[in-house]
A and B are shown apart, each in its own frame.
Chain A
Amino acid sequence: MSNETIGSAKATAQTAWEPPQFDFPTWLPPMLVKELRQGLRTKGFVGGLIAVQAVLALVFIFSFATETVTNGGKGPSEIFFWLITGCVLLVAAPVRALSALGPEIEQRTMDLLLLTRLDAWRIVWGKWVSLQAQTLLLLATLLPYLVVRYFFGSVDLVNDFAVMAGMLVGGSVLSALGLWASGLPRALRLLIVVAMVFILPSVFGAGFARSFGGATGGGGGWNGLLLWSLGLWNAAVGLLYMLILAVRWFAPPAENHAALPRLVPPALALPAVFLAAAGRLDLAVAQLAIASGGLVFVAAVELVTVREPMAIHLRGWLAGGGWRGALGLLALPGWPSAAVWLAVNLGIAGAGWAIVGAVLGPDAQTARVLGCLALGWAGMVFPIVLVSLIPSAAKTAGPLYFLVHVLLGAVVVIAGIEPLSVVAPGFMQMLDWISHSVPTASFWHAALEFKKPSTLPGLIIGQTAGLLLTAGLAYWVSRPYWERVRWLREASKPKA
């Protein structure tokens, strides 16, 4: 062992190791440098690069030999080019992202990173940027083939680039989804791999590609710009949300990441206000539908994320009391706070609907929509209340929550099968009763209008009872949580 002094970094040390003349990595974030160094050496990247080049080279050589210039760009070269571009942009990076965080969280190597100047956000951001950089590198190797397609005719380069940009945006959101999903249990990850290969690329890729391609090719003008902007806004919000979810897998408790995800549904709904003001009600309704989907997804994730409030979360807003304190309660980690946040969101949505209803005149649907929103709250919260009653269910809260939803949804579906009433009337009567009064099932029952005229008074009584039962149970089950919040708030107040 040497006895060199461990002290200032500026001290001179005589070693055999010489620093490089030009240190390019100094210009990049350390996490990106690390991920690129590792990523570019992986067999997945090198093998993928070689395979893509080999396949496209063979296909284009075959096309030169067999295709004619007048076939309008519909030959194998065209098909293979877009197929491989789609795979590179929409499948390869997201599937690689699925193994980006999980192993490091399991092996607890993240703790060491968190003790440097990197925080959880920079770590996840570095991983995502690295994946995108590698995707762009692969994409760059495809560009010569994009140009070679000119030889076969019917190539609209501007539209092609727009479609590629759309696929790139879709792929980047999918990569963020993959980063989040990489922290899920192995079985769920496998399911997501299947979805990423067969379903999600077509949904995300086609959606963004059509939006972006349509903006340049079909729509054009203000309409095109609007579609571009909406697509980018939704992608940005979705991307940030997924990255925050990924961050939450390993962020220390001092970094309270409960607050930001709860701003996602309002952020998605915001453009609808401007669209409605601009008279684009069709796009406003579509945007509200996206925001509603976002609310359901965020609420489900927040409800099953069983985290405890800590003293550090109660400082700041909560300590101030009043309105700041009330807002702080909506941003605490843990499902009881998420249930209150969901109620507030649905309350705002209900108020908005009531105002619109009042402006447009008496509308028979207003009462039904408000009822559905109330039942929707109960439907979302009821399963987590049930799961919370099971001791030590925190680790499996997500799958159990999902299971309760599936079971109660199935009850409504089976109860809607009329011929079964003749075969098993007693059983069907029981399912009918569940559909009327048990939350989650009662929401679907109301939303899908499975009500029968003869049972309408009973239906309303059952739904109201279910709603009150859920609220009461939620309050009762969450009492220790709120007691802990009160205790911590008192304990964290500065002593006189």
Chain B
Amino acid sequence: MSVPLVEMNNVTRRFGFVQALRGVTFTLERGQVVGLIGANGAGKTTAMRILTSLDLPDTGTVRIDGIDVAEQPNLVRRRIGWMPDHFQPYKDTTVGDYLDFFARAHGFKGADLHCRLAEVMDFTDLTPLISRPMDRLSKGQTQRLCLGRTLLNDPDLLLLDEPAAGLDPRARMEFKNLVRMLRERGKTLLISSHILTELAEMCDTLVFMDGGRVVHQGDKASLLRHEGVGASDDPTVKTGTAKRAIYEIEVAGPVADLCAWLEMRAGWRLVETQSDGVRAELEGASPELVALEVRRLATDLPLISFNRQERRLEEAFIDILRTGAGTKKTPLLSPPPLPGGAKEGAL
């Protein structure tokens, strides 16, 4: 049995009084494209920084390709590429000089260096920009440059933090194309983003984080089909959601009447009001119950259409947060806090 590429096991991290990670556990298999989803402060960036070895866990273990991040950070760094959410161009530096420097910093020399640079610039379509100063690149070109830099050491694992933020539609398409090509080449990608639709298009597995915990890890397709398929060993992770279904309902009369009808009926929850109907969720949606509800609705209101809808990722995320609120919490396995609040002080 092959070793997972990434194993995060019961990782905790505290900054002063802030418990950033609370027993985070997840694994990534080789070749997966995984989306890391969570609100601000959920612990995504802390988890990513720990994966890169730039920060270390208080407790728990993190292994990349079987190597402990805390014990052998240098070996781990050779296997990963990190594209952070921020980028600052170097002054007085061209695209070619920038990539050349990073390639040298990764240990490439001589013919290997120039071959590697040529490959990466070709892949990211940066060759025509080789002499352009970095501060004169468009946002899309800058993202391609960042990705190129991330690929220089030919990493097995790519960590992309908000990679498509601020990109125009064309640049976004180009970026998705690059991700697709990387997936085809067997790279493992962990992509963090707030834009869930973007993740839905790029990822096949999603890890939901909230309050420093992994609240769900599962396959995207099944998640959208309302079937939670938890794959996490963490006891706090929801391994399944209640059987719910979302329906798009259209009636001939005012939408307000339909809303009032849904409010009066048990098991229904209004998700979204539209111009000509609503999207609503039905609890315990067995075929018999759905048929019964459709008959009643058709009796009470002039029903035009009643169609089952796929859940959107945003709805799945909110649903997981809502239903996960009362789940069992793991005991806090983090050291006692230090006074002073912040991690590091002046000087």
- Measuring CB to CB, which residues of chain A are less than 8 angstroms from any residue of chain B? 1-13, 15-17, 19, 23, 25-26, 30-31, 33-34, 37-38, 41-42, 107-109, 111-119, 184-185, 245, 252-254, 301, 304-308, 310-312, 388, 391-399, 477, 480-481, 483-484, 487-488, 491
Q: Which of A12, A30, A252, A488 has the most C-beta atoms of chain B within 10 angstroms of its own C-beta?
A: A30
B56 touches A310 (CB 8 A): yes
B86 touches A108 (CB 8 A): yes
Q: A10-B115, A38-B90 are in contact. List 20 more A-B contacts (CB 8 A).
A: A1-B174, A2-B122, A5-B119, A6-B123, A9-B119, A9-B154, A17-B96, A25-B100, A30-B101, A31-B105, A33-B104, A108-B84, A112-B149, A115-B52, A116-B105, A117-B78, A254-B56, A305-B345, A394-B344, A480-B338
B90 touches A484 (CB 8 A): no
Find B335's partner among A112, A397, A487 (CB 8 Å cutoff).
A487
A116 touches B77 (CB 8 A): yes
| B 110-132 to A, binary, CB cutoff 8 A, 1 in contact else 0 | 11111111111111010100100
- Give the chain A neighbours of B74 by CB distance below 8 A: 117, 119
Find A488's partner among B55, B58, B84, B107 (CB 8 Å cutoff).
B58
A2 touches B347 (CB 8 A): no
Find A9's partner among B112, B182, B338 (CB 8 Å cutoff).
B112
CA of A477 to CA of B338, assembled, Å: 10
B346 touches A396 (CB 8 A): yes
A113 touches B105 (CB 8 A): yes
- Give the chain B neighbours of A114 by CB distance below 8 A: 54, 77
Expressed in whole angstroms, the minimum distance between the Cβ of B330 and any Cβ of chain A is 15
- Given A1-B178, A397-B346, do A107 and B86 touch, yes or no (CB 8 Å)? yes
- B102 at interface by CB-CB < 8 Å: yes
Interface residues on B, range: 35 or more
Tell me the nearest residue of chain A to B131, going by C-beta.
A17
Tell me the nearest residue of chain A to B180, going by C-beta.
A1
B93 touches A305 (CB 8 A): no
List 9 A-B residue pairs with CB atoms under 8 Å apart, sorted by A's residue number.
Answer: A5-B119, A11-B119, A26-B110, A42-B92, A109-B88, A116-B106, A306-B342, A394-B342, A483-B336
B345 touches A10 (CB 8 A): no
B119 touches A391 (CB 8 A): no
CA of A450 to CA of B96, assembled, Å: 67
A312 touches B70 (CB 8 A): yes
- Give the chain A neighbours of B341 by CB distance below 8 A: 391-392, 394
CA of A21 to CA of B154, assembled, Å: 25
CA of A107 to CA of B337, assembled, Å: 28
B84 touches A15 (CB 8 A): no
A254 touches B343 (CB 8 A): no
- B5 at interface by CB-CB < 8 Å: no
Tell me the nearest residue of chain B to A114, going by C-beta.
B54
- Give the chain A neighbours of B80 by CB distance below 8 A: 115
- Given A6-B154, A41-B92, A253-B56, do A398 and B77 touch, yes or no (CB 8 Å)? no
- B331 at interface by CB-CB < 8 Å: no
A487 touches B336 (CB 8 A): yes
- Give the chain A neighbours of B70 by CB distance below 8 A: 254, 311-312
B101 touches A9 (CB 8 A): no
- Given A6-B120, A9-B115, do A34 and B101 touch, yes or no (CB 8 Å)? yes
- Give the chain B neighbours of A245 by CB distance below 8 A: 347
Expressed in whole angstroms, the minimum distance between the Cβ of A256 and any Cβ of chain B is 11
CA of A302 to CA of B56, assembled, Å: 22
A15 touches B118 (CB 8 A): yes
CA of A9 to CA of B123, assembled, Å: 13
B149 touches A308 (CB 8 A): no
- Give the chain A neighbours of B249 by CB distance below 8 A: none
Find B127's partner among A3, A17, A304, A305 (CB 8 Å cutoff).
A17
- Give the chain A neighbours of B112 by CB distance below 8 A: 9-10
| B 36-53 to A, binary, CB cutoff 8 A, 1 in contact else 0 | 000000000000000011
Expressed in whole angstroms, the minimum distance between the Cβ of A253 and any Cβ of chain B is 5
B92 touches A391 (CB 8 A): no
Q: Which of A116, A311, A491 has the most C-beta atoms of chain B within 10 angstroms of its own C-beta?
A: A116
SS class, residues of chain A in contact with chain B: loop
A312 touches B56 (CB 8 A): yes
Q: Which of A23, A306, A477, A484 has the most C-beta atoms of chain B within 10 angstroms of its own C-beta?
A: A306
- Give the chain B neighbours of A488 by CB distance below 8 A: 58, 335
- Give the chain A neighbours of B84 by CB distance below 8 A: 108, 111-112
Find B92's partner among A4, A38, A108, A481 (CB 8 Å cutoff).
A38
B339 touches A388 (CB 8 A): yes
- Given A115-B54, A304-B346, do A2 and B97 touch, yes or no (CB 8 Å)? no
Q: Which of B127, B130, B181, B335 has the most C-beta atoms of chain A within 10 angstroms of its own C-beta?
A: B335
CA of A111 to CA of B55, assembled, Å: 10
Expressed in whole angstroms, the minimum distance between the Cβ of A126 and any Cβ of chain B is 10
Expressed in whole angstroms, the minimum distance between the Cβ of B80 and any Cβ of chain A is 7
Expressed in whole angstroms, the minimum distance between the Cβ of A191 and any Cβ of chain B is 14
Expressed in whole angstroms, the minimum distance between the Cβ of A214 and any Cβ of chain B is 35
Find B59's partner among A304, A483, A491 (CB 8 Å cutoff).
A491
- B306 at interface by CB-CB < 8 Å: no
Find B93's partner among A5, A37, A301, A310 (CB 8 Å cutoff).
A37
CA of A184 to CA of B336, assembled, Å: 29
CA of A1 to CA of B345, assembled, Å: 46
- B139 at interface by CB-CB < 8 Å: no
CA of A31 to CA of B106, assembled, Å: 11
Question: Top 8 closest A-B pairs, CB basis?
Answer: A306-B345, A394-B345, A19-B114, A116-B105, A30-B104, A392-B341, A398-B346, A107-B88
- Give the chain A neighbours of B58 by CB distance below 8 A: 310-311, 488, 491
CA of A483 to CA of B339, assembled, Å: 12
A12 touches B115 (CB 8 A): yes
B115 touches A11 (CB 8 A): yes
Tell me the nearest residue of chain A to B340, going by C-beta.
A394
CA of A427 to CA of B202, assembled, Å: 73
Tell me the nearest residue of chain B to A485, going by C-beta.
B335
CA of A488 to CA of B70, assembled, Å: 14
A112 touches B346 (CB 8 A): no
- Given A6-B119, A388-B339, do A117 and B347 touch, yes or no (CB 8 Å)? no
B127 touches A25 (CB 8 A): no
B338 touches A1 (CB 8 A): no
A13 touches B115 (CB 8 A): yes
CA of A17 to CA of B70, assembled, Å: 39
- Give the chain A neighbours of B96 by CB distance below 8 A: 17
A304 touches B347 (CB 8 A): yes
Find B105's partner among A118, A252, A307 (CB 8 Å cutoff).
A118
B101 touches A480 (CB 8 A): no
CA of A491 to CA of B59, assembled, Å: 7
Expressed in whole angstroms, the minimum distance between the Cβ of A21 and any Cβ of chain B is 11
- Given A25-B104, A395-B342, A398-B347, do A4 and B119 touch, yes or no (CB 8 Å)? yes
- Give the chain A neighbours of B153 by CB distance below 8 A: 116
Find B122's partner among A15, A117, A254 (CB 8 Å cutoff).
A15
A480 touches B339 (CB 8 A): yes
CA of A119 to CA of B16, assembled, Å: 26
Report B174-189 residues with CB < 8 Å from chain A CB: 174, 177-178, 181-182, 185
Report B147-190 residues with CB < 8 Å from chain A CB: 149, 151, 153-154, 174, 177-178, 181-182, 185
- Give the chain A neighbours of B59 by CB distance below 8 A: 311, 491
- Give the chain B neighbours of A107 by CB distance below 8 A: 86, 88
Tell me the nearest residue of chain A to B57, going by C-beta.
A311
B53 touches A484 (CB 8 A): no
Report B74-91 residues with CB < 8 Å from chain A CB: 74, 77-78, 80-82, 84, 86, 88, 90-91
Expressed in whole angstroms, the minimum distance between the Cβ of B19 and any Cβ of chain A is 14
Expressed in whole angstroms, the minimum distance between the Cβ of B161 and any Cβ of chain A is 11
Tell me the nearest residue of chain A to B82, going by C-beta.
A115
